[in-house]
C-alpha cells in the first residue's frame, strides 16, 4: 500500500519536469495551480504497473475502463475554475482521485461524486493516505450534482456530458463557475459556464477527450 518515502522522492524530478514542460510552458502560470500540481504525487493515483508512466504527457487507463486525465488537462481545468481558498467545490467523476487531491490544495472544502463504488473507495484511501482531510467522497449519479451540500462556488465535471446539466447550474452560487467537457466521443470541447442572476454565460475553451458521463442528466447506458 504505502510506498516508503525514499521511493516516493524518486518521482520528484519527473513531477518538476512535468510542471515545466507540460504545464508552465503551455501557458498555465498561476502559482497556486502550479504548487497544487507539485503537491500531489501522481504516481500514487495510477495502476501499480503504470507508475513509471505517471508523468507522461497523456491520460492513462485506471480500473473499470476509466481514465486519469492528462496532467495538462487537469492543470488547465483547475486553472479555468479559478478556485479561491475559501471556496466549496464539487467534482463529478472521482475516478482515480487525482483531480480532487489537486483541488483539495486550493479550496476550503471539496466534495466528489463517483458512480462506481470500487473507484470511489480506492480514491478515498489514496487521498487519506496523503493526509488530505478536506475532501468528502460520495457515491451516486453526479449528473444530478450532490444537492445535500449545495450550493457550490465551483463545480468541475471530469466526464463528457451531452449538454450542460441543468442540475449542476442550479447547484452553483450566483457568480459560480462550472467547467466541463461537452460533446460526443471524439468531438468534445471544454466549456466554462458562469451562473449569473438571470442567465448562464457559456464560454468554449479547448478540444478534449474524456470518457462519458453516464447518468440521468447525461448519456444513458453503462
Contact residues for ligand SAH (CB under 6 A)? Answer: 66-69, 92-93, 95-96, 98-99, 113-116, 119, 141-143, 158-159, 211, 213-215, 218
In the complex, the smallest distance separating the C-beta of residue 107 from ligand SAH, rounded to whole angstroms, is: 15
In the structure grid, which three cell numbers stand for residue 177, read together?
463557475
Minimum separation from the CB atom of position 85 to ligand SAH (A): 21
Least distance in angstroms from the C-beta of 13 to ligand SAH: 22
Q: Supply the DSSP string of 7-41, one letter for each residue.
A: HHHTTHHHHHHHIIIIIGGGT---HHHHHHHHHS-
In this complex, which beta carbon is closest to ligand SAH, that of residue 61 or of residue 175? 61
Closest by alpha carbon to 44, among 25, 17, 65, 62? 62
Task: Specify whether 69 is catalytic.
Answer: yes
Q: Of 95, 107, 139, which is closest to residue 32 (Cα–Cα)?
A: 107
- Quick one: 5 or 215, whose CB is closer to ligand SAH? 215
**Cα maximum dimension of the chain:** 54
Smallest separation, CB 121 to ligand SAH (Å) = 12
Catalytic residue of the set 24, 52, 69, 96? 69
What CA–CA distance (Å, rounded) separates 211 from 162? 12
Burial class (CB in 10 A: 0-12, 13-18, 19+), 82: middle
Of the pair 97, 176, the CB lying nearest ligand SAH is at 97
Residue sitting closest to ligand SAH (CB): 95
- CB closer to ligand SAH out of 67 and 189: 67
How far is the C-alpha of 156 from the C-alpha of 204, rounded, in Å? 15
Q: Known catalytic residues?
A: 69
Amino acid at each position: 500500500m504505502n510506498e516508503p518515502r525514499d521511493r516516493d522522492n524518486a518521482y520528484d524530478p519527473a513531477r518538476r519536469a512535468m510542471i515545466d514542460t507540460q504545464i508552465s510552458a503551455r501557458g498555465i502560470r498561476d502559482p497556486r495551480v502550479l504548487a497544487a500540481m507539485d503537491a500531489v504525487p501522481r504516481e500514487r493515483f495510477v495502476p501499480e504497473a503504470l507508475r513509471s508512466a505517471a508523468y507522461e504527457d497523456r491520460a492513462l487507463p485506471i480500473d473499470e475502463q476509466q481514465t486519469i486525465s492528462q496532467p495538462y488537462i487537469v492543470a488547465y481545468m483547475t486553472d479555468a475554475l479559478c478556485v479561491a481558498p475559501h471556496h466549496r467545490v464539487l467534482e463529478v467523476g472521482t475516478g482515480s482521485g487525482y483531480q480532487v487531491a489537486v483541488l483539495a490544495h486550493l479550496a476550503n472544502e471539496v466534495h466528489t461524486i463517483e458512480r462506481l463504488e470500487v473507484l470511489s473507495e480506492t480514491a478515498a484511501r489514496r487521498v487519506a493516505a496523503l493526509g488530505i482531510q478536506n475532501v468528502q467522497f460520495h457515491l451516486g449519479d453526479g449528473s444530478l450534482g450532490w444537492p445535500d451540500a449545495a450550493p457550490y462556488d465551483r463545480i468541475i465535471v471530469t466526464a463528457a456530458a451531452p449538454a450542460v446539466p441543468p442540475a449542476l447550474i442550479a447547484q452553483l452560487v450566483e457568480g459560480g463557475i462550472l467547467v466541463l467537457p461537452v460533446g460526443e466521443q471524439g468531438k468534445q470541447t471544454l466549456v466554462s459556464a458562469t451562473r449569473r442572476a438571470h442567465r448562464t454565460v457559456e464560454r468554449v475553451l479547448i478540444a478534449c477527450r474524456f470518457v462519458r458521463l453516464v447518468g440521468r442528466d447525461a448519456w444513458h447506458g453503462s
